[in-house]
Each structure stands twice: as C-alpha cells, then as structure tokens.
Amino acid sequence: MQLELTEHQRLTKDAARKFAAQHLAPFAAGWDKKEEFPAQALQKLGEAGFLAMLVPEDEGGTGAGAVAYALAIMELAEGCPATTVTMSVTNMVADVISRFGTPEQKQRYLPKFADGSFLCASFSLSEPGAGSDAAGLKARADQDGDDYVLNGEKAWVSHGEEASLYLIMAQVDQGGGKLKPTAFLVERGAKGLSVGRREEKMGLRASHTCGLVLDGLRVPKTAILGGEGNGLKVALTALDGGRIGVGAQAIGIARAALQASLKYAKDRQTFGKAIGEFQAIQWKLANMATELDAATLLVLRAAEMREKKQPCTKEAAMAKLFATDAAYRVCNEAVQIHGGYGYIGEFPVERHFRDVRVTQIYEGANEIQRIVIARAVLS
C-alpha cells in the first residue's frame, strides 16, 4: 500500500476541502434544521466533476479513482454529510454503469453525471421487508414482449424524490418459479414510477429518504444493467464501493466532531482551568484522534485495492465496520466533552452524533459486515 498521496489525489483533496468550507459547512446546520435538500450545492458539485469520479475519462467521467474519491468524501462530509449521501450514491450508480453497462447505456448516461445534467441518481435495492436479506426482494419484473413490467414497493431510497435516474432491483422469473434479482435503469418521470412516503429521520435530515411505488412501470429490455438475473452481482459490486464511501463519510463526520471538541476543550473552563488540561479529557481526545487515523488507513487501503481492480470485499467490509464504529465512538465522546452543551443544537456535535449513527446501519449493517469478514477469514 502506498501511503504517500499522488499529486492528483492531493489536489482533489484540497479542492474538496475548499468546496466544503465555501459551499457546505456554513449551511449544513440550517439545511438539517429545515430538512432542506442541498440542490444548489449538488449542482455545483456535479459541475465540478464530483459526481463522476469513478468513471474513466474516455467514458465521460473524471477518472479520479477510488482513493481520490474517498479523500474527497472525507473532506466534504466534514462540511455536510447529508450532501455526501447523495454524492456517494450517485457515484456508485455511475460506477456500476461504467462496469456493467452496454456501450449505448454508457453513452446515454455517463456524460450526464460529469457535466451536471444529472442532479443525482438513486440506488433502490431495499424493500420494506428486505434490507440485509437482499435476496428476499418481492418487487417483480415480468417480461411482456420486448418490455418488462415492474410492480412492487421499494423502501429507503436516498434522494428518491430528487433523482434524475434510478437503479432499481426487481425479481425476474427465469422459468419454473426461479426468481433472479435484475437491475433496471429507470429515468425520472417514467410512467408507473411514483415516490412514496418521506421518512422522518434522526439525522442526515437534509438527505431525503423515501419509498418508491412501482405500478405497472414498463421499461424496454435495454434498461437492464448487467444482464437478466445478474442484479445481485451488480448490487454487491456497487456495495463494495459504497462501503468505502460510507467509511469515508463516517470519518468526515467524526473529524468535524473532533475539531469541535478540541476547540471546546481549550475554551471551556471548570475549576479555574480549561477542561483540556484535565487528563480525563486529554485521553478522550487522544483516543479519538488515534481511532480516526486508524480508520482512515483502513478506508484508504480498501480504496487503493478497488482502484487497482483487486478483490476487496473483505477489506471494504473491514473499513466500513471499523470506520463507522470508531466514528460513532468519537461523536459520542465529543458530546461527553461538551457536557450539557453537547446535548443541544447550539453546538454542532449534537448534529454529528445524530448524523453518524446511520453509518453503522446502511450500506449493509455492521452485523452483516462481520458476517462478510468472518466468511473471508474462515475460508
């Protein structure tokens, strides 16, 4: 593993840091409070090429690579993690179109991720009754001539209200009742696709999460991504990359919580001195900084392996598991360091604590990451 960043990776990281300071951090608390989707910031992110970082340049992307992408997410999530939910899911969809798409699909969609024509894209695998158990999908896609007709209910779709393109998984009967998940690319406004209820969430409130209703949604055969029956392969490939993104996002949130805690430890006085002078607080800060550095190394290792096209399912799961658990502990300690002020909206750590919690759940709950890792180390 190369520990030194390349010039390009360093420049991408710096550009993301600048973007976060200018366009995200000053507005994140207000967006959270009003549950306002950061459409303008996303538009700017798209125009700057941050939504097509995993797509090679000859396919219309920026070809930044997985390491630069992870570094960018860490920086941007420090400013506004809700924005990086949309950024990472959109990059994930673009990535699998690049990996599995037909030449026509690539030509039709990929340039739109890079030039800002697409605001964002959604990835719709989960259903009300199927989250961890992705093979248990109920949504159906029935062949009718050269078309497929989709019916069912999808759940937990990040920015499903705002997406320009949806990657939707539904079961196709491949004969004899043998159901195989298949991935379909569906454009915004398609007849038979409607947005369901928006969830009221604990954190990441500027990222809207909703259901999707598929009611006689007719799509041509050419909408299938990766071939009929290969939906799980497409989804799992996407999730390897997605887990690196969630690990990076958790690190960004926790870095913001650590920065706020360092400042507070210097400012807050008790018993005649700054609380940062007490060893109890110093040890918390030392643990927080160490855990975050360890998490960063695991995430960058997985990203580098993915960039080199090496199998990295185990490493991506380890990175997601460790980074999100560590980030949760860091945000929890940040609240503790702030005392009562950590529990109210006046200080940002209250929001960081709410935002970080879901990183242990989505993109595969951490119990599932442990199953993936255990399977790999036992084999």
Ligand X SMILES: Cc1cc2nc3c(=O)[nH]c(=O)nc-3n(C[C@H](O)[C@H](O)[C@H](O)COP(=O)(O)OP(=O)(O)OC[C@H]3O[C@@H](n4cnc5c(N)ncnc54)[C@H](O)[C@@H]3O)c2cc1C
Q: Which is nearer to ligand X, 226 or 276 (CB)?
A: 226
Q: How far is the CB of 92 from ligand X (least distance, A)?
A: 9
How far is Cα 56 from Cα 110, in angstroms, rounded to an integer? 10
How far is Cα 287 from Cα 175, in angstroms, rounded to an integer? 56
Q: How far is the CB of 297 from ligand X (least distance, A)?
A: 25
Q: Is 230 helix (H, G, I), strand (E, B) or coil?
A: coil
126 binds ligand X, rule: CB under 6 A: yes
Q: Is 205 helix (H, G, I), strand (E, B) or coil?
A: coil
Among candidate residues 75, 78, 127, 363, the one labeled active-site is: 363
Half-sphere exposure of 358 (CA within 13 A, CB side): 19
132 binds ligand X, rule: CB under 6 A: yes
Q: Which tokens hold the place of 221? A: 């055969």
Half-sphere exposure of 273 (CA within 13 A, CB side): 6
CB 334 within 8 A of CB 260: yes
372 binds ligand X, rule: CB under 6 A: no
104 is catalytic: no
Q: DSSP readout, 4-15?
A: SPPHHHHHHHHH
Q: Which is nearer to ligand X, 301 or 357 (CB)?
A: 357
CB 181 within 8 A of CB 107: no
Tell me which of 209, 237, 296, 313 binds ligand X, using CB under 6 A: 209
Q: Which is nearer to ligand X, 9 or 124 (CB)?
A: 124
Q: Which is nearer to ligand X, 344 or 374 (CB)?
A: 374
- State the binding string over 104-123 for ligand X (x if CB under 6 A, else -): -------------------x
Looking up tokens 């199927």 gives: 130
Rg of the chain in Å (alpha carbons): 21
37 binds ligand X, rule: CB under 6 A: no
358 binds ligand X, rule: CB under 6 A: yes
- For ligand X, which stretch binds (CB under 6 A), given 42-50, 186-194, 213-221, 360-368? 360-368
Q: Which is nearer to ligand X, 186 or 300 (CB)?
A: 186
134: DSSP letter: G
Contacting residues toward ligand X, per CB under 6 A: 89, 123-126, 131-132, 156-158, 201, 209, 358, 361-365, 367-368, 371
